[in-house]
A and B are shown apart, each in its own frame.
Chain A
Amino acid sequence: MKQTISMLSTAAAFVFATGAATAQISDDTVKIGVMNDQSGLYADITGPGSVLAARMAVEDFGGKVAGKSIEVLFADHQNKPDIGANVVRQWIDTQQVDAIADVPTSSVALAVQEITREKNRMFLMSGPASSDLTGKACSETGIHWTYDTYALANGTGKALVKQGGDSWFFLTADYAFGHALERDTSKFVQEGGGKVLGVVRHPLSTADFSSFLLQAQASKAKIIGLANAGGDTINSIKQASEFGIVAGGQRLAGLLVFINDVHALGLKTAQGLVISESFYWDLNDETRAFSKRFAEKNKGNMVPSMIQAGVYGAVSHYLKAVQAAGTDEAKAVAKKMKELPINDFMTKNGSIREDGRVLRDMHLLQVKKPEESKYKYDYYKVLTTVPGTEAFRPLAQGGCPLVKS
């Protein structure tokens, strides 16, 4: 009996050993699945543009990694976690996809994080915002690339106080996400020495912000923080412009606003709005060169959003790590990704922490006045840049089980 067991365990050890030795590039292709919202409310900031960014990254890498071909697949999760989870499972189980990229909408991203953890695949998150993805839901093979809610709140909250915006009034969407944004941002405002004069909560998907905006105006706060998202943010910015709030000397701070939103609103409406992003196309020669290439391939449509730029960076870094590790086995690749420094057009000497958080600079930007804008998409001026080590949540505070305290 004892002999059988030891024989079996030897056999098992042998199988595992050979398994590890032959685990080079599975099925001779590295497959990257880009999944995001292709038709709904995040289609402009992620969508086909992210797929294009991933393809550009593959192309720039030479189309081959460790001598094997690279394939990019994409899918529309329609912002439904069920569909997202099903697509990813199917990709992994039947098509041997090695890495999932992008995935905006936190509920879908959290679902994908679980599946990639269970099935040992890489998850390159550029789209989702939730800082839980590197907190209590962190994964050894999940890398949160572009931004998160903590960095947005920190960047906008603390940096703006330093810029003199030391009294705040919050316009908060009345549900968990809005509350969290408001709570985080107020904390940073107070830490930076600012004051929160008041808060007004509005229901999700509000059409009429007039009474809320009047309260904000009456508070005389220097900054009105918009702790809401999507259509609510757009509506509140539009109506604030109609009430002449910005013209009256107060400033709006959007916590989740993208360049595409500013484009849609127009500079006349959005002027003076302060936001945080990790990428702006007009920062330096490199970002301009990439954005020009991107816009050309994107039928000349739009400059890349930070999420799309992030997909490019994440996919390139992933391919570099696969090359260096000589395998597409997720844990080995993740380890390599964390060892290698990140250097591309948007990231300078970035690094990945053990909880999967990419440390990168965040820029505090202000939307220009129409007369200041000299050329197409000349939308922002950079107020300040927060270095990656300060912008993101300290490792110990996230509650990630991978971090040994």
Chain B
Amino acid sequence: MNRFVAFGLLALLLVAPWIGVYPVFIMKALCFGMFAIAFNLLIGYVGLLSFGHAMFFGSASYITGHILKVWGWSAELSIIAGVLAATILGVAAGWIAIRRQGIYFAMITLALSQMVYFFCVQAPFTGGEDGIQSIPRQPLFGIIDLKSDMTLYYFVVAIAVGAFLLVYRIIHSPFGQVLKAIRENEARATSLGYNVDRYKLLAFVLSAALAGLAGSTKVLVMQLASLTDVFWPMSGEVILMTLVGGIGTIFGPVLGAFIVIAMQNYLAGIGEWVLVIQGVVFVIIVLAFRRGIVGELMALWDRRNKPAPTAVQPAE
């Protein structure tokens, strides 16, 4: 069933710009979808709530933006450089943060992310509150021109699908199984002989790298990097996306990202009411879909397809 959904969605993605959906909007939503997948890898499968993922997203976008604009590297090299920067930052931040759990973990990541934010406010290459603007879309591999939105669209779709498959592979690998074991019962995973800290660190770094990939790709799409990318509300936004879509589900974060980005863009015309409407939508989702939209749908599907005798079991 998952496979049908996946192929259906992929087909939809490939034809979307031809049936009247605005490609730049989908690209932006895909970038945030990747960001949410990266975040979900940590909260959904290791149970670590990071409140500082903006630092990876933002610093990768600054690095990629700077390289594209000032050094003029080709698109893929700039993205790789951005991802590398986020990875290194991920190692450093993860090494400090994974020593604590729960709210302390969240606070440490928030603190580190605010440090990165203040660095970006001050550092000369980020352009302060003006950000890095008019970043050129350098050609892919030095030959394929990405200036047209349509060419770029398929490049971004390829990156997003790649990232999605990577995460799918990670959570269905033995490594992913260990992560889930840690989420369920950390002491037990330790007693089984797993070096829990190492697994957590690796998951953290993977998540940081993917968040960096999302940030770097976004720079190529929107052609700008600004303080918004690295400021703490961005960390909050990705939590919302994941919550709305469904924590610990594969498609959830992507759907959540589409919903949040769509609200930001398509409600922009309503003016002053946009925040109120967003708030109401979130409250409704949290109250009515506690597992997130995808989580709730999956639970519904499971209930429909479970044989009747198990119905006597207490729910949850």
Contacts and interface: CB of A to CB of B under 8 A. Distances in A.
Interface of A: 38-39, 43, 47-48, 51, 73-83, 85-87, 89-90, 93-94, 106-107, 110-111, 113-114, 130, 132, 137, 174-177, 204
B265 A83 contact: yes
A76 B128 CA distance: 23
Nearest to A43: B272
B272 A90 contact: no
A380 B123 CA distance: 39
Contact of A81 (B22, B131, B268): B131
Contacts of A87: 265, 268
A48 B269 CA distance: 11
Interface stretch (B8-16, B72-80, B218-226): B218-226
Nearest to B268: A75
A81 B128 contact: no
A76 B133 contact: no
Contacts of A90: 22, 24-25, 265
Given A83-B265, A111-B133, A76 B270 contact: yes
Interface string B257-294: 00000001100111111110000000000000000000
Contact of A107 (B24, B226, B264, B273): B226
Interface residues of B, number: 32
B129 A176 contact: yes
Nearest to B29: A86
B222 A114 contact: no
Contacts of B190: none
Interface in B112-142: 121-122, 124, 127-131, 133-134
B228 interface: yes
A57 B30 CA distance: 39
Given A38-B271, A82-B28, A82-B218, A107 B129 contact: yes
Given A39-B272, A81-B131, 6 more contacts: A48-B272, A76-B269, A89-B24, A107-B224, A111-B226, A137-B134
B22 A93 contact: yes
B163 interface: no
Contacts of A73: 269
Contact of B223 (A85, A94, A132): A85
Contacts of B273: 39
Interface of B: 22, 24-25, 28, 121-122, 124, 127-131, 133-134, 218, 222-224, 226-229, 264-265, 268-275
Contacts of A38: 271-272, 274
Given A81-B228, A85-B224, A87-B265, A76 B272 contact: yes
Contacts of B271: 38-39, 47-48, 51, 74-76
A48 B273 CA distance: 11
Given A81-B224, A81-B228, A93-B22, A130 B130 contact: yes
B272 A47 contact: yes
B128 A175 contact: yes
Contact of B226 (A48, A51, A81): A81
Nearest to B274: A76
A114 B270 CA distance: 25
Contacts of A107: 129-131, 133, 224, 226-228
Contacts of A77: 268
The 10 A-B residue pairs whose C-beta atoms are closest, nearest first, are: A176-B128, A75-B268, A38-B271, A114-B134, A38-B272, A110-B133, A81-B226, A107-B131, A80-B228, A107-B226
B24 A75 contact: no
Contacts of A94: 22
B130 A86 contact: no
28 contacts: A39-B275, A48-B271, A75-B271, A76-B270, A76-B271, A78-B275, A80-B226, A81-B222, A82-B218, A82-B222, A82-B228, A83-B265, A83-B268, A85-B222, A85-B223, A85-B224, A86-B25, A90-B22, A93-B24, A107-B224, A110-B130, A110-B131, A110-B224, A111-B224, A175-B121, A176-B128, A177-B129, A204-B121
